[in-house]
């Protein structure tokens, strides 16, 4: 922001405030020091006393004490980056699904014992007060959580990587279940303050919208384009600290909040329309009000496009601000020092915005600007569903972003010339590949813009990357094969094993040492202990404790009693037809039918848990949730069923729920139609915590199975190729007819056994199963799914064999750490050098 005489952010000349920080003594990391600070924050800063009878203030006081310790390391890390003028990567994402910060910070700062003891001195228990923290739910699911795991690994590897995102006032909606239906409620997660952010108004940026463009002569026949009469919005940064594991590095996630400009209000105010001026303020601030709760692109929503440009423009301008401090107006080696990783196409307007800043603001020629852009941007794709590829109507673009649209047209013209040069006369190909899709309502194809403007294009699992090259992006692969690569996803074992599974963490560390927390491949050493009786006994005890904790959650939230001796069978993820929660439910109905038929000799009791949100407008997904709840109601209340089978739908599935769910799971359901799930990451969290997987050859399941071996994975279903070639001649009627189990299940559904009060309610689901054009081919995989489930049942009965397989699953999960994933991004795409933090 330009400093004005009204601004408090005028340069400070003589102060020694900045330089003297390093001479502040480092804060105590022992129990007494922490207890002392917690008391001081509680009494003096928050002004509470013994009459305080909730956990919120103790939580806040502890968070502030932990934050102080982050702050010292944060400043030292940023100074180290600044002093070494290191190359940096910016991870730009519309979503960062961070979950809770307290437990993670305590783990990464290695303060666990000191905090627990310090709190004990104060009569508090960490686990209890940590529950006060609301999840930072700034994401939909896999893509947003991946971004959060990536930040953890970048800090742990001491890489100069900053996250850029949006500070949504309302995150992912909270889900309640009323009469079996999903009901959405707003998630006002900032209501009680957020101790994990630092507002940085001094780095506010200005983002332009609307207006029109005009060409004006500059000099020597050169032309300038001016973007005029825009409606500007301010972007105010809020920084979130991202600590590495035990290495004193703290990186930054910078989240932008939209605010109205002062002069805009003043204009209206002086024109005498006070209320209108407040309205424009409202309109500006709307941009960062709410996260779009769709995990597949929702087409044509103007506000979403505003969010995307707001993030891209504010972030790029922020990088330019820092660049100019060190390099003035010389952009010649910008690409050697900066890389932008685009998390799907959502921020891909950054390609056009970088061109605009270089050409319009920095007066670079087009060719040089394009060279810089192409060498700076890298794009990650997260979907194989063609209908989920983002497109924006040209007319919307023109109205909202006239100058960026002109730039996209220019990029497209030069790109199509390259295509014509490579394939002369192939107009069909030019049409297919054009960034602008022609038609009665022309569209901008964001993925094509991202590919054209990037030096790297990657998928997120081996199969996914292969299918992108052979299918969705085949034309582009032919043109630029060198751009395409794979980066198989991962998850951070700090949150998804060390922090969320204390019993197993203790057992692992006492067996093979603690190195696995920073090097997950160490888990392989567990195989040496798999036959050790004492180790196996402790393994079983840990799983029992975790199942107990999960059973308590299910009892509290669903009023369903899970018996921990039963097989805990879990599917938690966004509710989507391609993920096939329905297939899982058909198996549940099959088990119920068997019980009702008395077919229960040598039965393995099962507790089946579902969880996940449906996009509010996705009616079929919402109906599936209703069906799950209705089936659960019938099954759980039938005295003939008893403990043989329990079914529950856990409301409001989120990061902090998964932290309880994955340690307590025996069997992980990863049953998407082959070729549809890009990767999956929940599958990795379960495996790491010793669950066995039942799954299709889809996404990262394939690589998981490679690592654990075929004997330790319950495989079923068509392959992606078979799905593709069967689509033509798919005949679900014949399949149902040929399988008596499936016929019996369909019969229960069709005679409204689970909806006796509301006949016809589930017809859309029944019809989808019987539809020869069912893209998800639920019926096709039913028979083979049942066989795989029976294998799982048999192995669970042979409990020693199950435990061995559980150990092998955990031991083989090393590849699925984001430390490995980030190592690969860095090695092949970013090429950053690790930079240690300055000493405290
Ligand atoms: C786009 C435009 C407008 C509104 C919403 C969206 C939108 C938002 C979120 C589109 C897609 C998403 C999220 C996608 C996602 O989470 N994909 C998942 O990414 C994971 C990490 O790579 C993979 O493991 C999953 O397979 C993939 O489904």
The tens digit of pLDDT for each residue in 392-451 reads 999 999 999 999 999 999 999 999 999 999 999 999 999 999 999 999 999 999 999 999
pLDDT at 833: 98
| Cα–Cα distance list, 706 to 458, 543, 582, 639 (Å) | 21, 24, 27, 42
383: helix, strand or coil: coil
> Is 87 a residue of the active site?
no
Q: Are 140 and 172 in contact (CB under 8 A)?
A: yes
pLDDT at 268: 62
Burial of 728 per CB tally in 10 Å (0-12, 13-18, 19+): exposed
Task: Tell the residue nearest (CA) to atom 14 of ligand 1.
Answer: 295
> Is 579 a residue of the active site?
yes
**What are the structure tokens assigned to 140, written together?**
């939909």
Calpha distance 633→636 (Å, rounded):
5
Counting ligand 1 atoms within 8 A of each CB, the residue from 383, 450, 578 with the most, and so the one to mutate, is: 383
465 C-alpha vs ligand 1 centroid, how far in Å? Answer: 16
Span 775-785, pLDDT tens digits: 999 999 999 99
Span 802-829, pLDDT tens digits: 999 999 999 999 999 999 999 999 999 9
> Is 382 a residue of the active site?
yes
| Cα–Cα distance list, 716 to 675, 734, 736, 790 (Å) | 14, 20, 18, 11
Measured from the Cα of 678, ligand 1's closest atom is 26
E strands within 316-407? 338-343, 377-380, 391-393
> Is 281 a residue of the active site?
no
pTM: 0.97
**What are the structure tokens assigned to 679, written together?**
């990767």
pLDDT at 3: 45
Measured from the Cα of 380, ligand 1's closest atom is 22
At what angle are helices 112-121 and 56-84 packed, to 10 degrees? 150
Taking the chain, what is the end-to-end CA distance rounded to the nearest angstrom?
32
Measured from the Cα of 141, ligand 1's closest atom is 16
Mean pLDDT on 466-475: 97
Calpha distance 212→230 (Å, rounded):
7
| Cα–Cα distance list, 637 to 551, 640, 643 (Å) | 18, 9, 11
637 C-alpha vs ligand 1 centroid, how far in Å? Answer: 37
Any idea what DSSP says for residue 290? B
Average pLDDT in the chain: 96
Span 600-650, pLDDT tens digits: 999 999 999 999 999 999 999 999 999 999 999 999 999 999 999 999 999
pLDDT at 332: 96
Is the four-CA dihedral 751, 753, 758, 764 of positive or negative sign? Answer: negative
> Is 685 a residue of the active site?
yes
Calpha distance 1→234 (Å, rounded):
9
| DSSP strand pairing (212-217 vs 223-228) | antiparallel
Cβ neighbors of 365 (< 8 A, separation 6 or more) are: 359
Query: Residue 1's pLDDT band (boundaries 50, 70, 90)?
Result: very low
388 C-alpha vs ligand 1 centroid, how far in Å? Answer: 9
Cβ neighbors of 408 (< 8 A, separation 6 or more) are: 352, 397, 435, 436, 444, 449
Mean pLDDT on 222-250: 96
Catalytic residue among 382, 587, 613, 646: 382
Per the DSSP assignment, residues forming a β-bridge with 224 are 216
Calpha distance 35→663 (Å, rounded):
30
Q: Are 81 and 154 in contact (CB under 8 A)?
A: no
9: pLDDT strictly greater than 90: no
Calpha distance 80→84 (Å, rounded):
6
Query: Residue 38's pLDDT band (boundaries 50, 70, 90)?
Result: very high
Query: Residue 218's pLDDT band (boundaries 50, 70, 90)?
Result: confident
Q: How many CB atoms lie within 10 A of CB 724?
A: 14
| DSSP strand pairing (250-260 vs 231-243) | antiparallel
Mean pLDDT on 120-141: 97
Question: Which among 673, 700, 668, 464 is positioned nearest to 579, based on CA atoms?
Answer: 673
Question: Which among 839, 639, 627 is positioned nearest to 748, based on CA atoms?
Answer: 627
The percent of residues in the chain predicted with pLDDT above 70, rounded, is 97
143 C-alpha vs ligand 1 centroid, how far in Å? Answer: 5
Name the residue with tokens 């330009």: 2
> Is 573 a residue of the active site?
yes
pLDDT at 263: 64
- Ligand 1 contacts (CB < 6 A) are 140-143, 146, 292, 294-298, 304, 346, 382-383, 390, 460, 489, 677-681, 699
pLDDT at 18: 62
Name the residue with tokens 């950054």: 350
Mean pLDDT on 6-10: 75
Any idea what DSSP says for residue 829? I
Query: Residue 5's pLDDT band (boundaries 50, 70, 90)?
Result: low
């Amino acid at each position: 922001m330009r400093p004005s005489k009204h601004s408090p952010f005028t340069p400070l000349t003589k102060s020694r405030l900045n330089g003297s920080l390093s001479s502040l003594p480092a804060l105590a990391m022992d129990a007494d020091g922490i207890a002392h600070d917690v008391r001081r924050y509680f009494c003096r800063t928050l002004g509470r006393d013994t009459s305080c009878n909730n956990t919120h203030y103790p939580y806040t006081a502890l968070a502030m004490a932990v934050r102080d310790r982050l702050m010292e390391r944060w400043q030292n890390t940023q100074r180290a980056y600044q002093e070494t003028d290191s190359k940096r990567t910016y991870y730009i994402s519309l979503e960062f699904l961070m979950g809770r910060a307290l437990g993670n910070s305590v783990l990464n700062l290695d303060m666990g014992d000191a905090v627990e003891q310090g709190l004990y001195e104060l009569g508090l228990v960490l686990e209890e007060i940590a529950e006060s923290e609301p999840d930072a739910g700034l994401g939909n699911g896999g893509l947003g959580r991946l971004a959060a795991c990536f930040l953890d690994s970048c800090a742990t590897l001491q890489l100069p990587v900053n996250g850029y995102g949006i500070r949504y006032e309302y995150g992912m909606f909270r889900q309640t279940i009323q009469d079996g239906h999903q009901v959405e409620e707003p998630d006002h997660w900032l209501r009680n303050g957020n101790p994990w952010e630092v507002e940085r108004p001094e780095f506010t940026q200005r983002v332009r919208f609307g207006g029109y463009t005009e060409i004006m002569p500059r000099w020597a026949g050169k032309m300038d384009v001016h973007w005029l009469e825009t409606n500007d919005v301010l972007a105010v940064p809020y920084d979130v600290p991202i600590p590495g594991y035990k290495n004193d590095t703290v990186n930054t996630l910078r989240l932008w909040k939209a605010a109205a400009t002062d002069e805009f209000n003043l204009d209206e105010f002086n024109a005498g329309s006070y209320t209108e001026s407040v309205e424009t303020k409202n309109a500006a601030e709307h941009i960062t009000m709410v996260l779009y709760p769709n995990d597949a692109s929702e087409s044509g929503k103007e506000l979403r496009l505003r969010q995307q440009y707001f993030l891209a423009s504010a972030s790029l301008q922020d990088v330019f601000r820092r660049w100019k401090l060190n390099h003035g107006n010389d952009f010649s080696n910008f690409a050697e020092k900066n890389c932008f990783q685009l998390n799907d196409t959502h921020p891909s307007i950054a390609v056009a915005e970088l061109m605009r800043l270089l050409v319009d603001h920095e007066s670079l020629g087009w060719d040089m600007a394009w060279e810089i852009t192409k060498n700076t941007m890298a794009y990650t794709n997260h979907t194989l569903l063609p209908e989920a590829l983002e497109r924006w109507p040209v007319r919307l673009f023109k109205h909202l972003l006239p100058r960026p649209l002109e730039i996209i047209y220019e990029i497209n013209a030069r790109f199509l010339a390259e295509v014509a040069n490579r394939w002369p006369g192939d107009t069909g190909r030019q049409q297919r590949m054009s960034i602008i899709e022609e038609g009665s309502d022309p569209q901008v194809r964001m993925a094509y813009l991202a590919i054209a403007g990037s030096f790297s294009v990657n998928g997120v699992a081996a199969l996914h990357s292969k299918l992108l090259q052979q299918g969705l992006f085949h034309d582009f692969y032919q043109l630029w094969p060198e751009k395409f690569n794979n980066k198989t996803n991962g998850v951070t074992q700090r949150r998804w094993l060390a922090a969320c599974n204390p019993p197993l963490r203790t057992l692992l560390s006492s067996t093979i040492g603690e190195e696995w927390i920073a090097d997950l491949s160490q888990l392989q050493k567990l195989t040496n202990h798999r036959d050790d009786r004492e180790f196996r006994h402790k393994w079983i005890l840990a799983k029992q404790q975790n199942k107990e904790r999960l059973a308590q959650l299910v009892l509290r939230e669903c009023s369903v009693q899970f018996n921990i001796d039963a097989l805990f069978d879990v599917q938690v993820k966004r509710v989507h037809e391609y993920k096939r929660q329905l297939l899982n439910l058909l198996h549940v109905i099959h088990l119920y039918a068997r019980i009702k038929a008395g077919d229960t000799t040598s039965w393995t009791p099962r507790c089946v848990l579902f969880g996940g949100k449906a996009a509010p407008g996705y009616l079929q997904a919402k109906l599936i949730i209703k069906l799950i709840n209705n089936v659960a109601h019938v099954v759980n209340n039938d005295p003939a069923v008893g403990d043989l089978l329990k079914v529950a739908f856990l409301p409001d599935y989120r990061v902090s729920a998964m932290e309880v769910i994955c340690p307590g799971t025996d069997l992980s359901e990863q049953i998407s139609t082959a070729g549809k799930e890009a990767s999956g990451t929940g599958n990795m969290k379960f495996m790491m915590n010793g669950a066995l997987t039942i799954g299709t050859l889809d996404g990262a399941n394939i690589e998981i199975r490679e690592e654990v071996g075929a004997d330790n994975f319950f495989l079923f279903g068509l392959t992606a190729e078979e799905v593709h070639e069967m689509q033509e001649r798919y005949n679900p009627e014949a399949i149902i007819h040929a399988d008596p189990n499936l016929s019996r299940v369909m019969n229960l559904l069709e005679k409204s056994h689970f909806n006796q009060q509301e006949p016809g309610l589930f017809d859309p689901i029944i019809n989808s199963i019987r539809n020869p054009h069912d893209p998800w081919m639920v019926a096709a995989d039913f028979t083979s799914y049942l066989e795989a489930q029976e294998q799982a049942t048999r192995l669970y009965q042979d409990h020693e064999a199950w435990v061995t397989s559980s150990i092998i699953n955990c031991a083989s999960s090393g590849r699925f750490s984001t430390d490995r994933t980030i190592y690969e991004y860095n090695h092949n795409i970013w090429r950053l050098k690790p930079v240690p933090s300055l000493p405290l």
